[in-house]
Structure 1
Amino acid sequence: MHAKVKKAVLAYSGGLDTSVILKWLQEAYGCEVVTFTADLGQGEELEPARKKALLLGIKPENIFIEDVREEFVRDFVFPMFRANALYEGQYLLGTSIARPLIAKHQIEIARKTGADAVAHGATGKGNDQVRFELGYYALEPGIKVIAPWREWDLTSRTKLIEFAEKHQIPIAKDKRGDAPFSVDANLLHSSSEGKVLEDPWAEPDEMVYQRTISPEAAPDKATYIEVEFEKGDAVAIDGKRLSPATLLTKLNELGKANGIGRLDLVENRFVGMKSRGVYETPGGTILHAAHRGIESLTLDRGAAHLKDEIMPRYAEMIYNGFWFSPEREMLQALIDKSQENVTGTVRLKLYKGNTAVVGRKSPKSLYSLQHVTFEEDAGAYDQRDAAGFIKLNALRLRLLKKGRG
């Protein structure tokens, strides 16, 4: 017997799994269901989700479809990119960073509609269940959370389809067979996992890739672009100012056309197992390189190195679902402070899967040609000072050697 629930807000894509969940909630909990569908730039038409929700008996006032692309990039992606966040040295956290945004909206809708529960379609084996639920509880400590994949007995594709047929849930032809792999997509990336990708020795087939052409098929001529930054955030491409989501969309187009942003990764999930994923982050890969390029010119050495030291911890917090934690917010304040002078322009060369920084300039530049030149430097740097500097730094090494013979 399930706990009493009056109304639940479901993160609803309109696909087979979440449509089955919608009906299952009505049956198992006997509750009213509110659907929330977010346009995160996944590239799918969202109106079918509204029609499907209506077909499944959801009242029009209980169907929420929201375009959150600008909020996603401005308030989630950009703050994360200020930190140069990479999980396990490689992953640009495209799925991880979308979950707190969805959780936030579900809680807001729950408050608006008087719902006492929220529900998601993440499985009991992955990271997303953790990310959604840590977000829910951080924002609304007393909320009831329903995770059907941990509760129901619809444990196979066959059972899901049987349930769908029994309840007259429309099933797309391509959903009747087993999908060769599962896909999650948003404006920052697409992620493919499972089935044909489970063997980490087998190279992914070209059909897996949706956001990028292969580097081999990319043009033989390099593309040059300029990305302008203000206080750590990209604001313009080739001199044209763009909104955050429009800018990332443009970088995605440039990355796709040049075969940039593919990653085949075996990673450590928060729940304890390893998994293999194929990620495509075309615009994010360019943005990451560009941001590091402008920081190299504008960040003091101590600040830059401290940022690099805390970055793995910050990335892990996001991967593990702690976006709304006090420790992530503390680190964000430190990161944002470091970005006050990260302003200027980076020139990049995009070519066959590669992103190279080939120029950088800034009104806040700390680069001094007078100090680094091999030519006569007019007394800006006295090379004789280096002797004492080296001797002081060598003192403990000399004492160590003497003491140990």
Structure 2
Amino acid sequence: MSPRRSSIAFAALIAVAVSLGACREQEPGANAGAAPPAPKVTVAKPVTKLVADHDEYVGRFVALDFVEVRARVSGYLSKIHFTDGQLVPAGASLFTVDPRPFEAALEQAKASVVTAEANLAFAESDLSRAESLVSGTSITQQTIDQRVQAKRVAEASVTAQKAALAQAELDLEFTELKAPISGRIGDRRVSVGNLVTGGTGGNTTLLATVASVDPIRFEFTMDEASYLRYLRAVQAENSSAANRGMTLPARLKLIDDSDFVHEGSIDFVDNTIDRSSGTIRGRAEFKNADGRLTPGMFGRIRVATSKPAEALLVPDSAIGTEQVRKFVYVVSAENVVNPKYVTLGPVVDGLRVITSGLEANDDVVVNGLMRIRPGAAVTPEQAATASGAAGETVVGTN
């Protein structure tokens, strides 16, 4: 057989095979693919809860009281009565300056008082004898005046020596330095045996510092818009203009806290807005019985700016993103999912507040978001609560 005839025969065989295959595809029931089942998703109603709008600020803790312990008399440091960093009660002994020079000065002051009192007693008796004599015959008026003056000088001397005695007693008392407040003391700045300088001047020796522990304050700044929201919250609480909402509650979160677990209240708002920064300083007070909150520590404070009102909440995992818009998938009565665009609020107890775009009776998809598309049919399974459901985070597309 020639090559040309072989090629024609081969082409004919291929045409017959293709024709037979087409006939088989057209046969009823041949290779008919079944439609995939509708994907299963978990749905839940939004959680309804009383929620108050709030603002959050970053700030630092400061001690309610902070005292620098400085010597009030000069002398050699003889004793230290504390361990660095311990809690000390008010009135506890901290340092002792060598008291012996001041004890000697006190004894000398006592002796001076006795001498002055003896001089006063003599002047009084001398004046009494002069007054018993007949003026103008036995004694002159000048002599009487001199003895009156001597008595007054003696009285003044007694007063001066008693003041010196009181000062000597104070100086001796100042050799024992005690804690002026209850709190945590820092480390000692001077060791035993060093000469410390006391007095009221600017060159006195700093021995240690004491910072109060419980309660503790938290200082922060708010901008002018936040300050106006704060004032509205004050008015909503029916607080008077005098105290400016000093009882307004506040909650605080540390760097390692998962939520705002520390409860306190606003206790101060400054009287002017800083012109350079446009902010105003606020302060809150918190209990600190365990001493965990430390001055200088960072934190975030949450201040309510409205009265509590009912709000709808869903898990963050149920929220999708479409460019700048946020949405949730809602299952209709026909088991078809469609997106609803929503406006988000803050996170409360692990759930996201939805401020608009959602109804309380909507069935929101909280699990299985990656398996669905808008307009698709699904097989919904009801979850117990929205807060107990978890799912994947979905990012929407155009």
Question: Based on CA coordinates, which of the two structures has the bigger radius of gyration?
Answer: 2
Greater relative contact order: 1 or 2 (C-alpha under 8 angstroms, separation 6 or more)? 2
More strand by share: 2
Decide: shared fold, TM above 0.5: no
Q: Scaled by the length of structure 1, what TM-score is found?
A: 0.20
Q: Which has more helix, going by share of residues?
A: 1
TM-score (norm 2): 0.21
